[in-house]
Structure 1
Amino acid sequence: MRGKLMILLPLIVLELVAIVEAQHHVEEMQHSSNSFSLELIHRHAYMFNHNRPLTQHQRLKDLLRHDIVRHNITSHRLQHRRPAIELPLNPGSDLGIGQYVTMLKVGTPSQMFRVIVDTGSDLTSVRCRYRCSKGAGDCTKKGRINGKRVFNARLSSSFRPVPCSSQRCKVELMTLFSIATCPAPLTPCAYDYGYADGSAARGVFADETVTVGLTDGRKTRLRNVLIGCSDSYQGSNFNNVDGLLGLANTKHSFAAYAVEKFGRKFSYCLVDHLSNINATSYITFGSSASRNRVKLSGNARRTTLELQALTPFYAVKVRGISVDGKMLEIPMKVWDVTQGGGTILDSGTSLTYLTNPAYQTVMEALTMSVSKYPRVKLDAVPMDYCFNSTGFDATSVPKLILHFEDGARFKPHWNSYVIAVGGGVRCLGFLPARFPGVCVIGNIMQQNYFWEYDLTAKKLSFAPSACS
């Protein structure tokens, strides 16, 4: 891969799969609505894998495979350190991946694609054909090539390639791996993304129109959104999806564009990854109107959102972890960015990673409460502690709390860290990471909580919720 730093995170990406449904005719945005949402579907959802439903054990192995690759990339990368829109989110369990996905409508007239929702990736991209003629066999109006949905850029009147001779290509998009080659001034600016697991995406940059559903039920067009027209996807990560929705904390991401238009906030509430397919959640861009979609079951808390500490990720300042009211003895360097530590929230990683000084201490405190149950070793599952949960008493699970520097406390649900993996087996849902390195609060730990990212106030709000 030419020795470059890998920028896109593996499909673990919060693979939030947002689904925009065309229920109403498209209208230009009016000021009467100030948010939009995308539906989120977990990547293991049966709707994506009718022919091979996954067992809980298979799902766990898949989650871990993607998590490990993603965390390796995250660590490597950090070493080089108004109206609202709404998109429905659904668990993508049956896609064979552990993230969330959505449907995105791209172009004019719009074409619909299933994309992974990734808070760690900068660029929104879709499987695409740009260079084609009327008689080309790979550019049919049906929008499919070899059974895969493909965006036919030639059929979109709003598709505007970024010229390779522009400063935007030569300077701004270098961080997204634009290619320096420029045979003619108007040749589209090309990119070549590589993944640590051998997957890759290649194509050209363009400004394009994306159609989304407003929270008042109408539709609106978001113009001049930077997208990647990818004519080459390699690797298993893209087998069951058509592209990726980049939500990272950078100027080029879809999140950055959406929050500028809709009030500098976005929020989501993740249903349990094992929920029935009918359980739907949303990622909403815009004002606090998004809270109307979910009923909170507890008081909301706020903590500081560190937007510059671990770019392009969303970081928080953790002070420590307590178990059953007792603060654990974890070195402060684990949480200190200046000493090689730090903590991020990542909806694209399933399990929660703790660097070794914290991991060992937390595991010791939790294993005491489940040591009376027979220990189990699962095939191809690297979690340290799994056990037979026959006769398991949930009241014996100690209360784990993450304490933030400003006094806020996050109390995850017990089944978000003592997780069911099928066959009467549960596991402690943490994985170890090297230090120096970053701790990651994964999407299972975030489940059944409402999360709101206020990018103006630099605050993260969270509250327990059934996400419905």
Structure 2
Amino acid sequence: MAPAATARGRACSFSSFLRVADLTAVLCCLIVAGLWVDGCDGAGTFGFDIHHRSSDPVRAMLAPNGEDLLPERGTPGYYAAMAHRDRLVHGLRLAAADDGRAPITFDTGNVTYLLKAFGFLHYANVSVGTPSLSFLVALDTGSDLFWIPCDCISCVRGLKLPNGTEIDFNIYSPNSSSSSTVVPCSGALCRKHFKCSATHNQCPYQVVYVSNGTSSTGILVEDVLHMTTDDNQSKVVTAQITFGCGRIQTGSFLEGGAPNGLFGLGMNNISVPSILAKDGLAANSFSMCFGSDGIGRISFGDKGSSNQGETPFLVSRSHPSYNITVTRVIVGKEIHDLEFSAIFDSGTSFTYLNDPAYTLISKTFDSSVQEKRHPSDPSIPFEYCYDISSNRSLSHIPMLNLTMKGGDRFYVTEPVELIPVLGGYVYCLAVVKSGDINIIGQNFMTGYRVVFDRERMVLAWKPSNCYSVM
């Protein structure tokens, strides 16, 4: 393999092969990252595979002998567990005490054992430092900072499975990486310079999540993220990034909510996409693709294609997020003009709508179906479900389309979920009533490559099988 080179300033043909080097053998088969290349007319794209919490690779890691912490995918218990997970983490935002932003509280209730391990929805393996260490991190578009466990005072060092198998996690240390630099109080990304101690010139950080004292605290460091070029020589390249050396984790993080770190994908300048764009390594845009098999792709620098659907972000100055505006709802043959805002959140399993959108869509859908309404079932998180015979297809189900601001339509490819129940099956409109904000979840995004273009401030989408270039 060719000598290592720096990625700073390179213009094209980047890929990411984030090697799983230091976890157990069962982790080694979990995530291997690769790249799509757009050509040499600008910064190339690079990315890595992402895995749903219920995907086969993650289930194999958590349950090598068939004993999983999560009910079988497609069962009522699975949907109930994932809806419970959504209520615990949906709307995850930094607390007002950290930077003046308005918090959105978590739903009350205990975290069940089913969700203690790997509570987020998507994961990827990233490799940082010299020598490199691999970290299985949760992906979160609702937060900004990338942090990993580091010189731990209080953090998760591993995971013990029900069958007794133990998985040890890597712990980062700036002193053990020859390419590491501690960010000083005067650093451009140091937002808490006023809390620097008189004896240590280290930039502190603290991200506080409104969930029973859930937080990550430590210092900011700069180190290398390892990648490889996507050419015949496969040269190793590195990108300098700033991230959190998380010394103290509290609350849900100690219960395994994000067992080996959190990869923030938010809009602020501390997020990895922002840093890569600022350093000229990639366009300030990334895409996420969600396959029906639970395996997808994140690609940095991807701005999509000319024939994709687009709508502008509705950006709040107090809390920038991937918020968009819906102007019209089409259910079956009925068209309703209705304007409401919603957050595109890849970390939420299902779609959550409040009124009037929830009632309008649900009632219109209900009036359009042919089957008998299924009695209310507390084990199913969806309100509108219908009995169907096992040999009947779902091709007759009313379509659901959202017209976005600007006029482009977002065709929901999977508006319903088919669920086995005693005596047969039901299909349910996979929308949950929300008490606060509207969230377009991953179930509506399945089958699409969704582009978060932060340069043009637009959300874009195009159908994709996640195994081909957009």
Which runs of structure 2 are paired with 1:363-402 in the superposition (5 Å)? 363-370=362-369, 372-373=371-372, 375-391=374-390, 392-402=392-402
SS of the residue 1:461 aligns to: strand
Task: Name the structure 1 match of 2:62.
Answer: 49
Separation in 2 of the partners of 1:190 and 1:461?
Answer: 33
Q: TM-score scaled to structure 2, two decimals?
A: 0.73
Distance change >3 Å, CA 80–CA 193, structure 1 → 2: closer
Task: Name the structure 2 match of 1:84.
Answer: none
Separation in 1 of the partners of 2:377 and 2:325?
Answer: 34
CA apart distance, 1:287: 4.3
Task: Name the structure 2 match of 1:148.
Answer: 169
Corresponding position: 1:418 with 2:437: no
Separation in 2 of the partners of 1:421 and 1:118?
Answer: 28
Task: Name the structure 2 match of 1:311.
Answer: 319
| C-alpha contact 2:349 2:442 (8 A) present in aligned 1 | yes
CA apart distance, 1:40: 0.5
Which runs of structure 2 are paired with 1:199-210 in the superposition (5 Å)? 199-210=214-225
Corresponding position: 1:361 with 2:360: yes
CA apart distance, 1:425: 3.6
| C-alpha contact 1:19 1:39 (8 A) present in aligned 2 | no
Match of 1:234 among 242, 247, 251: 251
Task: Name the structure 1 match of 2:151.
Answer: 129
Separation in 1 of the partners of 2:317 and 2:201?
Answer: 37
Of all paired residues, the percent bearing the same amino acid is 20
Q: Deviations over 1:34-77 (max 9, x none)?
A: 22111101112313321533313333223212212333545997
CA RMSD of aligned residues (A): 3.6
| C-alpha contact 1:191 1:205 (8 A) present in aligned 2 | no
Match of 1:67 among 62, 79, 86: 86
Q: TM-score scaled to structure 1, two decimals?
A: 0.73
| C-alpha contact 1:267 1:285 (8 A) present in aligned 2 | yes
Distance change >3 Å, CA 102–CA 179, structure 1 → 2: farther
Which has the larger displacement, 67-76 or 147-156? 67-76
Corresponding position: 1:222 with 2:239: yes
CA apart distance, 1:21: 2.9
Counterpart residue type for residue 397 of structure 1: I
Distance change >3 Å, CA 411–CA 161, structure 1 → 2: same
Separation in 2 of the partners of 1:410 and 1:404?
Answer: 7
Task: Name the structure 1 match of 2:50.
Answer: 40
Separation in 1 of the partners of 2:95 and 2:205?
Answer: 24
Greater RCO (Cα-Cα under 8 Å, separation 6 or more): 1
| C-alpha contact 2:447 2:463 (8 A) present in aligned 1 | yes
Counterpart residue type for residue 428 of structure 1: L
Distance change >3 Å, CA 402–CA 250, structure 1 → 2: same
CA apart distance, 1:312: 2.8
| C-alpha contact 1:43 1:99 (8 A) present in aligned 2 | yes
Separation in 2 of the partners of 1:94 and 1:370?
Answer: 38
SS of the residue 1:328 aligns to: strand
Which runs of structure 2 are paired with 1:109-120 in the superposition (5 Å)? 109-120=131-142
Distance change >3 Å, CA 189–CA 72, structure 1 → 2: closer
Separation in 2 of the partners of 1:76 and 1:240?
Answer: 18
Distance change >3 Å, CA 22–CA 235, structure 1 → 2: closer
Match of 1:212 among 221, 227, 243: 227
Separation in 2 of the partners of 1:354 and 1:310?
Answer: 22
Task: Name the structure 2 match of 1:251.
Answer: 269
